[in-house]
Amino acid sequence: MADESPQEIRAEALESILIEKGLLTAEAVDDVITRYSEQVGPMNGARLVARAWVDPQFKKQLLTDATSVVKSFGFEGGQVEKLVVVENTNKVHNAVVCTLCSCYPWAVLGLPPKWYKDPAYRSRIVMEPRQLLSEMGVRLGHHVDIQVWDSSAEIRYMVLPMRPSGTQHLKEEQLAELVTRDSMIGVEVLPGKPS
Amino acid sequence: MELQGLSAPPMANGEVVFDAPWQSRVFGMARALCEQGMFTWDEFREQLILQIETCGNDSDYQYFSHFFDALTILLEKKQLFSKAELMVLSDQFAARPHGHDHSH
């Protein structure tokens, strides 16, 4: 077995101490990890997006009061005090960041990806969004405005990506499978399907 | 500033959230303690922001190290544990022979 890193050892020691003190159980920790990595995940957000693509009335609700919509879906997970969903169109591309730390709409998108917490992403998406998005594979025409939304403890943002071309025949469940986490952060444009 | 992972293929949706298992354990501990009412998530978040700000956005930026420090500082503030205990036990664990029965 490879040597453990000091950080690994300290984390293990902390868990032992907290368990010893009766503040925690290993099962509670396991439970959180499972919950956030499996049950609470980008699939929740994808379901909202797919429904919005097929149901104009739902889309209207989602864009005006996403917080209530999410409540009615009963997604498990913390951190959705107020959720705002912003729509990508041919004219506007939205992207989400938290410049302060790493606020993220966990209940709909699961755990944030590593790069979301990276200082490079947090500053560059604000300073030079077009360049950064292009490096991440999102090449936008100059006629497309970029709007960057800075999350906070009070308000979390999620992007409603554009429905890919060539998906008219797909059902809601099939559409949900096309929606990626990155497209709901606004750092990916969903590729069209050959029709 | 290093552009870690940013220029990676944009379709890499399955990017790992945690770099190492200890990071997911620390995350799990913080959430579980919060759910058991030891502190509120806002309290934790404020401590985390403080850690991140104190250390600055340097190239040694290690999100989960800050996360760990924020957790231990908050627990100490709440008088739920002391860092001295942590140091003692960490030293004991570090001195274990290789191949010990590792719990996770």
Tokens coding A112: 């944030």
Tell me what pLDDT residue B71 has.
Answer: 95
Residue B3 included in any domain: no
Residue B84 included in any domain: yes
Per-residue buried b or exposed e for A88-109, using 16+ beta carbons within 10 Å of the residue's own CB: beeeebbbbbbeebbbbbbbbb
Q: In this complex, is the C-beta atom of A63 within 8 Å of any C-beta atom belonging to chain B?
A: no
Tell me what pLDDT residue A117 has.
Answer: 82
Please judge whether B11 and A32 are an interchain contact, meaning their C-beta atoms are less than 8 angstroms apart.
no
Tell me what pLDDT residue B9 has.
Answer: 18
Residue A146: beta bridge partners?
A93
Partners of residue A101 in chain B, C-beta under 8 Å: 45, 48-49, 52
Range of the domain at B87: 23-94
Partners of residue B70 in chain A, C-beta under 8 Å: none
Q: Is the pLDDT of residue B58 over 90?
A: no
Report yes or no: A53 and A163 within 8 Å, Cβ to Cβ. Answer: yes
Can you tell me the ipTM of this complex? 0.79
Tell me what pLDDT residue A9 has.
Answer: 93
* Range with top average pLDDT, A33-42, A63-72, B14-23: A63-72
Q: Say which residues have a Cβ less than 8 Å from residue A156's Cβ, sequence separation at least 6.
A: A79, A80, A81, A82, A83, A84, A103, A104, A105
Domain definitions of chain A by residue range: 6-38, 41-185
Average pLDDT of chain B, as a whole number: 74
The whole-number average pLDDT for the span A84-94 is: 97
pLDDT confidence of B11, banded at 50, 70, 90? very low
pLDDT confidence of B16, banded at 50, 70, 90? very low
Q: Is the pLDDT of residue A59 over 70?
A: yes
Q: Is the pLDDT of residue B15 over 50?
A: no
Residue B6 included in any domain: no
Helix (H) or strand (E) holding B87: helix B83-94
- What is the C-alpha to C-alpha distance for residues A35 and A139, in angstroms, rounded to an integer? 35
Q: In this complex, is the C-beta atom of A177 within 8 Å of any C-beta atom belonging to chain B?
A: no
Tell me what pLDDT residue A56 has.
Answer: 97
Residue B82 included in any domain: yes
More reliable by pLDDT, A58 or A5: A58
Helix (H) or strand (E) holding B89: helix B83-94
Please judge whether A138 and B10 are an interchain contact, meaning their C-beta atoms are less than 8 angstroms apart.
yes
The whole-number average pLDDT for the span A32-54 is: 82
Give residue-wise pLDDT tens across range A114-128.
Answer: 788 888 999 999 999
Instruction: Enumerate helices (H) and strands (E) in chain A, giving the number of each.
Output: 10, 4
Average pLDDT of chain A, as a whole number: 88
Tell me what pLDDT residue B1 has.
Answer: 19
Q: Which CATH architecture has domain A41-185?
A: Alpha-Beta Complex (3.90)
Distance from CA of B48 to the nearest CA of A (A): 8
- What is the C-alpha to C-alpha distance for residues A140 and A162, in angstroms, rounded to an integer? 13
Q: Say which residues have a Cβ less than 8 Å from residue B52's Cβ, sequence separation at least 6.
A: A101, B63, B66
Work out the number of other CB atoms within 10 angstroms of the CB of residue A145: 11
Number of domains chain B contains: 1
pLDDT confidence of B97, banded at 50, 70, 90? confident
Residue B70 included in any domain: yes
Report yes or no: A111 and A185 within 8 Å, Cβ to Cβ. Answer: no
